[in-house]
Amino acid sequence: MRLAVVFALCFCSFVYAQKGTNSPFSYYGLGEKRFEGNTENALMGGMNAFVDSTRVDVRNPASLGRLARTTFSLSTSYDMREMSTPASSYNERTFFLDYLSLSFPVYKQVGVSVGLRPYSSIGYKLQSQEQISGREQYFAYEGSGGVNQAYLSVGYEFLQGLRVGLSGGFNFGKSEFDNYYSSPSFLYISREQSQSLYRGGSYALGLQYDRNLGKEYAFSAGLSYVPEAKLNATNTLTLYSLRPHNGNFLVKDSRTITDPNLVNTKLTLPSSFELSAGGGKPSQWFVGASLHYTQMSAFSNPFVTSSIVTYENAYRFALGGFFLPHNTAYTKYWKRVTYRAGFYYEHTGITLKEQPINDFGITFGVSLPIQGLSNATIGGAWGQKGDKTLLKENYFTLKVALTLSDKWFQRTKYH
């Protein structure tokens, strides 16, 4: 019961108070695409090759076919980011929730997971000053919002070591954009406010295979595919004339734009697939790699367009692993700690003023045993995104996750 109450409270906080980024790059596309896997794998570069019976990463729902215990997972992040342009630099801080999930086995070799996770996040504030025709011009841009996903996933191991999975999600969220324009020679400030509400479904398919190599070593591989999906968007666009007054603004005039072709639109969420493989001694160490490919060139949003950005197909490569000194050394705590590390490189598919936006980072962290198979994971990701000729971001993201594992829904046996 306590677990259910905590889950419900965190769920409400996630939906109504989430702010997932402070990156100017989140203006483009549907926002900054969020990492959808668990924190343990995020700290190994984001690779998705390792599967065990107590942790869940529904990027590949087939992993649920190996689940042996009920698992509740909660993860948060604290992001510290420095943005630099040729003219200036500034810092931002953001705290956000990564995911909530409850996963459990329901039958022999069948596992189910329900949860909530972010798909994308929008959050930025920008200002600029320009000389146009000898006149000072001031611009300000603000954006917030994003898309979340509530999902239900099922995995089934139909042959020893071979699993399939299916995940269905309901995507929902909103975005708000405010653009301001002013000049000392003008009495009023112009404000353009646009808002979109998003709703739509999507699904994913997964396949995994693993086998033992001798008595101690093992190999595993996985493939997941997310077909192209549509988001229904309900849009509003309002123009304001504002007059400064005692530190605030008075609305002199407002007008809502009601273009019938833009009130209700459909966004295209591009298809993607991920291939993962790795091997090692699962009770002690493992090394794996993942390649994620997204057909970003298919993305479209008729309501929000820009002449300086284009989209091309994206990819992300991740390499990482873990080391566990001794998982049965009960009197030596630090030998039961799992150490994780990795790196990633991502071509985001966003080309800004003919300059591709890429992202590179290294990750590291530890999983600390709490009781039984439960653990707390803490670590970080340090990286760089963009290019200093336009906009460069240096960031460090601190991640903290809690995974509680226990046996539920199992029939009691009497002897």
Token duo for residue 407: 């046996």
> 133-157 pLDDT, tens per residue?
667 778 888 889 999 999 999 999 9
pTM: 0.88
Q: What amino acid is encoded at 171 in this protein? A: N
Q: Residue 125, class by beta-carbon neighbours within 10 Å (0-12 exposed, 13-18 middle, 19+ buried)?
A: middle
Q: Where is mean pLDDT largest: 14-28, 37-51, 316-330?
A: 37-51
Whether the Cβ atoms of residue 63 and residue 73 lie closer than 8 Å to each other: no
pLDDT of residue 52: 84
CA 369 to chain centre: 26
pLDDT of residue 140: 85
pLDDT confidence tier of residue 221, bands split at 50, 70 and 90: very high
Distance, in Å, from the CA atom of 259 to the CA atom of 256, rounded to the nearest integer, reads: 9
Q: Which of 107 and 331 is assigned the larger pLDDT? A: 107
Residues 6+ apart with CB under 8 A from 288: 44, 47, 48, 49, 50, 220, 276, 277, 278, 279, 280, 319, 320, 321
Predicted confidence (pLDDT) at residue 180 exceeds the cutoff of 80: yes
Dihedral angle of Cα 166, 119, 101, 151, to the nearest 10 degrees = -40
pLDDT of residue 247: 67
Average pLDDT over residues 274-298: 95
Contacts 24+ apart (CB under 8 A), 67-70: 67/103, 67/104, 67/105, 67/111, 67/113, 67/155, 68/105, 69/104, 69/105, 69/373, 69/405, 69/406, 69/407, 69/408, 70/102, 70/103, 70/104, 70/105, 70/405, 70/406, 70/407, 70/408, 70/409
